[in-house]
Chain A
Amino acid sequence: MTAKYETVIGLEVHLQLETETKAFCGCSTEFGKPPNSHTCPVCLGFPGSLPVLNEKAFLYSIKVALALNCKIQDTIKFDRKNYYYPDLPKNFQISQFDMPLSYDGFVDPFSGSLDAKRVHIKRVHLEEDAGKLIHPAKESYSLVDFNRAGMPLLEIVTEPDINSPQEAYDYLTALKSILQYLRVSDCDMEKGSLRCDANISIRKAGEKELGVKVEVKNMNSFRWVREALSFEAKRQIALAEAGERIIQETRLWDAQKLVTLPMRSKEEAHDYRYFPEPDLVPFIVDKKIIDRIEKELPELPRERAGRFTRDYGLSEYDARVLTGQVDLADYFEKCANIYANRKTLTTWINGDIAAQMNARKVNIVGLGIEPKDLVELLKMIDGQSISGKMAKDVLLGMIDTKKSAGEIVSSKGLSQVSDKDKIEEAVKDVLAKNEKSVNDYKGGKKTAITFLIGQIMKQTKGKANPAVVNDVLKKHLGE
């Protein structure tokens, strides 16, 4: 079925820029404050108030645009997008219409260790966010919180050159990674600082013309974007197969039912009546500023992954996983500077550490383990003072108690016994108590050794170094 059809997807990402103040006034952008506490006549759209562009929001926008390989518009102007909604204080949004501040860029995502297809960026423009409506349960009124109104919002729009839900997922992952490297936003979808809408259509394979597009909204994780697009592609193909018409509409992803549903409210064809915002004067961007921002761009994930494979001898896959999150990559490098065994380091960070981050839904900073503390733990394994298995428990202890590896090992008496004399003692004891197994072994039943090792480990409370146990035991068994 899918071979017959091609899916065409374009994505629109809205990114809240992490400036201290709003896009056009001096109000704080702090999240989670009491409703309407971060407002002023400007962001409330009071009569007579006027917008003044936040320079930092503009510079952040340029930074993003350059990192996405976009061209920068010579003259920057803003437009008014007119529509009525109670969360929009002026009943128009200051946005950019025919001259977005940047255009024609691209992102090169990965898919695992493979390069995915390049996604072209159509435009990146700066606008203001709206407030938030609150609908108290069982009440006939709605409330509005304007704290979010006027927050700087960057809209990043791709060309319709994404051809599968997985490609969409890979693009979003790559985009988020870049944005986090730029440190312009926390990209937190749960807080709404990164939002994604998708346009999706299907067409018969080989056809040039685009099909009827459906806009899908309300997907608050990249996983849901992928799921929603899969569902929507299948739905559209099924309609086409059944000879039914696909209608142009906006559909909402229902994460409970795992389906897209038509938006209930009547979405009439809007005429936004865009026109140039007369309260903001168009201005020309100084090339020197753009050059400076370009020079100051940090090393981005793709370059960093390349460097990790070269400098640390990591596999491409490991390097990409590590560099996918800027904090994780920084963490790796801090550890790598004081610890030479990069293979072990990578295995631990991409393994147990990553598992704990996922389980606890925190990033590496939230996990609270200093690089030097992780390195201490890894060095204990290397020095055989604890086993790899013990180290896993110690790591949990470190996360839970914020104590160092050394402290946990000594407080729990965990340190591994590699002392041959002590092990010898245990081996003799176990062999004396288990004559039958010894005889079985000597009689040719080699698996009996497993039982004996188990007994020795039990006697040493698991602290014995397995390698030493093995050596000593075999010696005693006469091999």
Chain B
Amino acid sequence: MENLYSLTAHELKEKIDKFSLAPSSILDSLFERIASLDEKIKAFVSLNKRAASAIPENKAGKLYGIPILVKDNICVKGEATTCASRILEGFKPPYDATVIKKLKSEGAVLIGKANMDEFAFGSSCETSCYGPTRNPWDTDRIPGGSSGGSAAAVASDQTILALGSDTGGSIRQPASLCGVVGLKPTYGRVSRYGLIAFASSLDQIGPITKDVRDAALVMNVIAGYDEMDSTCVDMPVPDYTKSLVSDVKGLRVGVPKEYFIKGIDKEVEASVRAAIDILKDLGAEIVDITLPHTQYAVSTYYIVAPAEASSNLARFDGVQYGHRSRDSKDLIDMYIKTRSTGFGNEAKRRILLGTYCLSTGYYDAYYLKAQKVRTRIKEDFDSAFKLCDLIVTPTTPTPAFKIGEKTEDPLSMYLSDIFTISANLAGLPAISIPCGFSEESLPIGLHMLARPFGEETLFRAAYAFERRTDHHKRKPKL
């Protein structure tokens, strides 16, 4: 008998619906897998051992009995939610994030919380206070980040589905480096209520899955208006599985010249070029486009995101919840000691950076300027989408790098999000799907972006590509 843990959500759903597969047997299979494997991968920061007894009743639910792993920055009522930071030690939210409510009501089974870069600050999962997660394809390498735990767990069959969050590439980059599917929805498509904010104007929750259909299934559940989130858009949610047709005929695929730059890994470039040829072969029309402000995306991002983060993270002060340093002589001392011992280095770096950018005398030169450039970047896309329906780029400049390789060089770490950041700045939906492997058997991802609320276009193209290829079927040797 095939191992249940290795199946996709849609395969399991069929077994449950048609062959009365008991959800508890999926959990048994997964927990056994996790017990034998996670020592090595370290994708989990907490495991919900009570999941089997908490399988929802709703058998008609869209995800009934399907296990899902949740990134540790999404609030689950009563379950430790720490953002992989010491400062949230012992914090158990008194409420469920909206996406968690929706998943629960559709019968999904929450199996635990996934490791991540502290507060999602990072591209390698190395800034977690629990230590790094490892890439299932090569455990000396990073899984990407910040949703590294989610991606590594999906890639190593330790969960069926996972949720990540994406502020500058945090879903797509680890999905790419782990050889799985990761979707960042349009800003406003999925409620952020209950997602512990990194940069409010950039954050989105999205699925990390084994294939495109599973991503569509998750989106069918989590997308939609939420009155608790003022930035959430009130638009009907289509049935995304209806977009899963292997047909891209007439689809205009834009290839931005700025994204195939010097420094891009040869194997990555070759795989992505080959992928573009496949899309062409499938009937898509390839169009050359230009996104001239791309070169400013990373610098813009590293002003806007830390600025918002510095304010969002101000609440972690030891007053109400989480970590508090003892033996403080007064209030200021408590603030300083709590935050000095509670936050890791990357969090401190970003808080300092953001605080600086918002300070009187620097605001105009940094924050305001960055917002203007952000508008230009968005306008680039607006123009480009007049010529094409979809934009294709590599997800990352290189396959997974080694653990420790870039920790001493934040700037080179920041550049690993160079292709993904623009989608957040412009609020666009974007997906990463497997499109090949390096000689060292490291996954390579294809990045596709669409117009705002154009998730259906992404699903259509991604599904067509996936049907034609078998990269998504390849599994790491573990």
Contacts and interface: CB of A to CB of B under 8 A. Distances in A.
Interface residues of A, number: 28
Contacts of B93: 41, 46-48
B392 to A, nearest CB: 29
Interface stretch (A189-197, A274-282, A363-371): A274-282
B173 interface: no
Contacts of B367: 275
B27 interface: no
B151 interface: no
Contacts of B75: 47-48
B230 A280 contact: yes
Contact of A52 (B230, B315, B355): B230
A274 B367 CA distance: 11
A41 B194 CA distance: 10
B228 interface: yes
B195 interface: yes
Given A48-B193, A50-B229, A278 B201 contact: yes
Given A41-B93, A46-B321, A90-B315, A275 B307 contact: yes
Interface stretch (B176-184, B357-365, B400-408): B357-365
Interface in B48-95: 73-75, 81, 83, 88, 91, 93-95
Question: Interface of chain B, helix or strand or loop or mixed?
Answer: loop
Contacts of A275: 307-308, 311, 358, 363, 367
Contacts of B17: none
Contacts of A82: 310-311, 314, 358
A90 B311 CA distance: 8
B320 interface: yes
**Interface size class for chain B?**
35 or more
A45 B316 CA distance: 10
Contacts of A86: 317, 319, 331
A221 interface: no
B286 to A, nearest CB: 36
Contacts of B105: none
Interface string B197-218: 1011100000000000000000
A47 B200 contact: no
A89 interface: yes
Contact of A48 (B195, B308, B358): B195
A41 B314 contact: no
Nearest to B88: A47
B196 A48 contact: yes
A276 to B, nearest CB: 8
A44 interface: yes
B228 A52 contact: yes
A84 B81 CA distance: 24
A92 B195 contact: no
A278 B194 CA distance: 15
Contacts of B229: 50, 52
A47 B196 contact: yes
B71 to A, nearest CB: 12
B359 A271 contact: yes
A50 B192 contact: yes
A84 to B, nearest CB: 6
A281 B81 contact: no
B271 to A, nearest CB: 36
Interface string A260-278: 0000000000010111001
Interface in B340-382: 355, 358-360, 363, 367
A84 B317 contact: yes
B353 to A, nearest CB: 13
B97 interface: yes
Interface in A80-118: 80, 82, 84, 86, 89-92
21 contacts: A45-B315, A46-B321, A47-B75, A47-B83, A47-B91, A48-B197, A50-B230, A51-B230, A52-B227, A84-B335, A91-B315, A273-B310, A273-B355, A273-B360, A275-B363, A278-B199, A278-B201, A279-B200, A279-B230, A280-B230, A281-B231
Given A41-B93, A275-B311, 10 more contacts: A48-B196, A52-B228, A52-B230, A82-B310, A82-B358, A84-B314, A92-B311, A273-B355, A275-B363, A278-B231
Instruction: List 10 tightest A-B contacts by C-beta distance, closest first.
Output: A91-B314, A278-B200, A273-B358, A278-B201, A47-B196, A48-B194, A48-B75, A90-B315, A48-B196, A86-B319
